Structure 1
Amino acid sequence: PHHKIIGEEGAKHEISKGDVVWFIDPIDGTANFVKNLPSYTIHIGSIKDGQPYVSYVSIPEQNIVYCDYQNGNKPLTPLTKRLLCTEFFPHQVKKTEQFNRLLKKLNATPVRNNSIGISCLELLEGKITAFYKDKLKLWDIIAPLCFLKFYQYDLWDMKVHYKDEFTNRTVVVDPFLDTQDYITHLNSIHKTDCRAGLLTITPKSDPDILKVILEEFNY
């Protein structure tokens, strides 16, 4: 009864340090779902004391379920080329231009799934190299992100980047609620547009990818 819930539907609870917080997205990849395409996911993920706690992600159309609460190990086979993934609507011209610039600078191949959950699971399965999402809403990402930390923590650099609303300084944090300033930031944005900042998930073995993404977004 004391757990907090942040979800796409309904009110967002105020978070305090040490809370168990559940992030719920009943359908990630709504556009795919509406078009009867199979690439959509269900997200239920939780954080406790700044760490992933319990997570569930399913791909209903494929009868695939990811569910865990323990650390483990899932090896990753290096890709022979860079595959860069992000998610945005086709009509968003600025985001399209940003993505195209990044592809050129990184000599990368584009990947678009129209589902953040599917994209994160493809990171886990070694099918894409890196992922970013600007103006992120946390219920879209926490559940699948938990599995990257459960199984491949040593492989990925996972960060949220945002501008402090009072000082405009750049803040870089772990996505899993590990500082009071970040919790304060989330409580503030959950009263408005719920957009936490720029999420980057990049391989530690290829730091240039993160550098180029941050330069593009002026961080």
Structure 2
Amino acid sequence: MNAYRTIAIRAANLAGDFIVKAFNDRDRVISRKKDLNDYVTNVDQQSEYLIIDTIKAAYPDHSILGEESGLKEGADKDTVWIIDPLDGTRNFIDGNPHFSISIAVKQKGKTVAAVIFDPMRDEMFSAANGSGAQLNQSRIRVAAEKKLDKSILATGFPFRAKDSVDTYLEYFGRLLPECSDMRRAGSAALDLAYLACGRVNGFWEFGLSEWDTAAGVLIVKEAGGLVGDVKGNPFTAKSKSIMAANPHVFKQFMQLVKDL
């Protein structure tokens, strides 16, 4: 197994154990509002500390980009670990057991390993560049569905980028009548993981950050999916939108929204 993936799995398991215990004792959780509809808790912060400590024990010179702590450059600036310690914080606060831990490793800008862990279901999604994607110990692939009108699409609301709301509603109005159904579950990382293992057929959203998508993008690609922005451009860390699906659904999505 890829050494980076091994460490990422170790870190995710450690943080996941802590998060599950905190979820079952939420009276001790302290939350505050970072921005409109954007929350952070002491659990997010402690989870990130646990992940960083695990990474630093193995790779003390690597750089780290965490949602809560920002960029911490190490002596090795070419290798960066990108961490979302609790993706789906609002679900966690409200007692909805749908959230995840996302960890990706980039070398010279290329993602080489990725982990998304759902600690409540004990589901570890992982990938290493060129080695395929796994759910726990089993290989996974995107669903083979060929028709958009039989596909379930996952999405999220652009609460961090309110100026995207009108654009989002245009896309939503165009897509909803043409797909089988739409899902909004509250964890972009898990949406991408679910796409990779065939539980949904596509995912699109506006206004995400790199820590929301870095791990999921590699896992989807290694599971046979395509990823771009909603205009069909290659997806990068600076993309303002994301669209991911199997090749058949991806092509139909782009055809449907090309004039928006």
Using the size of structure 1 for normalisation, the TM-score is: 0.70
In the alignment, structure 1 residue 205 sits paired with structure 2 residue 257: no
Shift of the 104–53 alpha-carbon distance from structure 1 to 2, 3 Å rule, reads closer
- Alignment CA distance shift 1:173-1:23 (3 Å): same
Tell me whether 99-108 or 22-31 shows the greater mean CA deviation: 99-108
Q: Secondary structure at the match of 1:27?
A: strand
Q: Which sections of structure 2, spanning at least 5 residues, go unmatched?
A: 1-59, 133-138
- 1:173 aligned onto 2:245: no
| Partner residue of 1:43 out of 102, 105, 113 | 102
Give the Cα–Cα distance (whole angstroms) in 1 for the partners of residues 243 and 180 of structure 2.
16
RMSD: 3.0
Distance 1:77 1:172, change over 3 A: closer
How many residues are matched? 184
Q: Which has the higher helix share?
A: 2
Any conservation in 1 of the 2:142–2:246 contact (CA below 8 Å)?
no
Q: What amino acid is aligned across from residue 5 of structure 1 in structure 2?
A: I
Instruction: State the TM-score, normalized to the length of structure 2.
Output: 0.60
Q: Are 2:211 and 1:128 aligned?
A: no
Tell me which residue corresponds to 1:33.
92
Which whole-Å CA distance do the structure 1 matches of 2:242 and 2:142 have between them? Answer: 21
What are the ranges of 5 or more consecutive residues in structure 1 without an aligned counterpart? 162-169, 178-185, 187-195
Q: Sequence identity of aligned pairs in percent?
A: 22
Separation in 1, partners of 2:227, 2:245: 7
Task: Name the residue aligned to 2:55.
Answer: none
Shift >4 Å, 4+ stretches: none
- Higher RCO, 1 vs 2 (CA within 8 Å, ≥6 residues apart): 1
- Report the AA paired with residue 205 of structure 2: K
Mapping of residues 83-122 of structure 1, within 5 Å: 83-88=152-157, 94=166, 97-104=169-176, 106-122=178-194
Distance in 1, matches of 2:122 and 2:140, equals 21
> Is 1:52–1:149's contact at 8 Å kept on the other side of the alignment?
no
